[in-house]
Amino acid sequence: MIYVDAICEYPKDAIIAKARRYGGRWCHMWCDGDLEELHRMADAIHLKREYFQDVEGFPHYDLVESRRKLAIQFGAQEMSLRAWIKQKKGLKKRKT
């Protein structure tokens, strides 16, 4: 399953290259399983593979609002990161 969180506006005083590039507004797109599924979605919404952020525990892409809308049209589910982390922790507890 592919997920996107809400668009967030990042503070101008914390400007980094990414914030300048995205105008300070973006969200995340991630998956709960196969990274190839995530990359296929990225291809479908015309993201370059170089935008992939292979962060341990949270591999993802950052999306601007127009790409987020496309991802949802292609089947991504809206979910907050907080809810996803809580769900992920709950699944781990049930497995042990």
Distance CA 86, CA 81 (A): 8
Residues 6+ apart with CB under 8 A from 26: 7, 8, 10, 18, 62, 63, 64
Q: What is the mean pLDDT of residues 78-85?
A: 92
Whether residue 12 has pLDDT greater than 90: no
For residue 38, count other CB atoms closer than 10 A to its CB: 21
Give pLDDT, residue 63: 93
- Residue 92 has φ and ψ, to the nearest 5°, of -60, -40
Span 59-79, average pLDDT: 96
> Model's pTM, two decimal places?
0.82
